[in-house]
Amino acid sequence: MSVLRSVLYVLISAFTLVLGPLVWLIFRIIYGTKGRSVSKVTNPLLLQSATSLAKKIRAREVTAEAVMEAFIARAREVNTIINAIVAERYSDALEEAKAVDRVLSQKTIPEEYSVERKPLLGVPLTVKEAFAWKGMPNSSGLVSRKDVVADHDSPAVHNLKQAGMIPFASTNVSELCMWFESANKVYGRTKNAYDDNRIVGGSSGGEGCILSSGASLMGVGSDIGGSIRMPAFFNGVFGHRPSKDVVPNEGQHPPATGGQIALLATGPMCRYAEDLLPALKIMAGPGAAKLKLNTKVDISKVRVFSMDDDGGSLLALDHLGRMCGAAAESIHLHLMKYSLEMWSAKMAAGAGTKFACFMARGEESGKKVNCFLEFLKWLVRCSSHTLPAIGLGMAEVFTPDNDPNIPKLLTMLDALHKEIVDLLGDNGVLLYPSHPCPAPYHNHPILTPFNFTYTAIFNALALPVTQVPLGLSKEGLPLGLQVVAAPYQDHLTIAVAKELEKGFGGWASPGGDRGATTGAENGQELKDKSS
């Protein structure tokens, strides 16, 4: 990193270390102890996996219309509190559901509607607004793009529609998908279904939130620094960052350029673990051939590793230790302390489009937003951009195009990658914390901007990761951890996720009983990465 960026990093780290507890207390006083939550999910149709519902729709045990009506009713109920859905096509989705019922009522089902071709026929789907979805808004939370409507489907959305799913709503994002609180000047702020004083994460925060609220079962997310896994963690659902070049990344805005291409991954977000594998297989299309998704995993033979000095879930380690027949092995990866620097180096490698260009819609012309001027405008509430976006644009100014430290950091990253891959092999997983704490209060991440590196390091390492919920804290907020494997061993992380769901119950409905596990028991109260 440049000298100026290094100084800024040290100053923010020192601020967090010295004043972090005081700042947290101030936010606690401002917001109070507990905000509103959405009501508990009670409709049985909303409490089944996508896989289960697809089977029941096909067997005519329930109609696709009834299923869609249930999810739309729930979405309408909860969105007044959480603001996760930013665009909808409820009427069209209902008509498509009725069409599915008509097909399935025939004596002979056409081959194109067979279970092999449409395994999730009639199941509702939500989509991150940043993904192109024909006829739906595609602003990515940028005011100057608020009238942009997609004229095609992104590959991931297309594949899910081809599998029979019916998309019915688009969900909120952070501005241009580069911050871990989902708020922008087009759609406003999304609020946590368990406590509306808390964030939902980003950039796929609207998706994580609508899943946790019980108004969706499966969604499309993208992840360049944890944008699937942080929202999945803060909202208590499952999310998977696939191995490199498995699911197509095309059709989302902003597109990855330069070093970002190697970091970005598109993947599924689900309420139930059993939906992860079929969703990944469908979204990947031909790319699924790179994985071993049909391989049955013997949990008793999986080796489990953890890093004690970075926290983790003690109960999860104990559970997996019992199931695997051996205690988890504690390891120390000393290069992990350079996670932020290595991720930043990977982002900066290659001549990518500057964030300030995307802010100005100058991807082709090279036009940029003057983020220092925007900051002054923001101070007097005249800017059309959010503070995190402005801050990122300002930080770019202090990042030289040819930082002499980048080659050294990339060499360190390669060394860490080799160390982890050699350790895990084809039958090992690493359990790693998702964040230093459960969902923070709104705006609090601005004061702890480096905490995203708990997830971002695995983008830089190009490793598959599944985010797994582990119940609720004493405050009723979701807990969880990341399960990491070697490249193209996605089936291992998903198998472990399914095992942990059995042990800890997986997703827990907001508005209901708080989980049996607590933050202290699960090692969620970690130090800030910026400290």
**Which are the catalytic amino acids?**
128, 203, 227
* 431 strand-pairing partners: 306, 483
52/61 Cα distance (integer angstroms):
11
> Is the backbone peptide bond immediately before 254 cis, with ω within 30 degrees of 0?
yes
Residue 377: which residues within 8 A CB-CB, separation 6 or more?
383
Instruction: For helices 276-284 and 155-162, give the axis angle rounded to 10 degrees.
Output: 110
Question: How many angstroms separate the Cα of 1 from the Cα of each of 46, 452, 497?
Answer: 48, 18, 36
189/200 Cα distance (integer angstroms):
9
Query: Is residue 11 within 8 Å of 525, Cβ to Cβ?
Result: no
Question: How many angstroms separate the Cα of 42 from the Cα of each of 96, 126, 449?
Answer: 25, 20, 37
457/462 Cα distance (integer angstroms):
9
User: Look-up: residue for tokens 């090992």?
Assistant: 428
Residue 209: which residues within 8 A CB-CB, separation 6 or more?
82, 84, 171, 172, 182, 190, 191, 192, 193, 200, 231, 235
Neighbours of 7 (CB within 10 A): 12
Say whether 368 sits in a helix, a strand or coil.
Answer: coil
Query: Is residue 164 within 8 Å of 121, Cβ to Cβ?
Result: yes
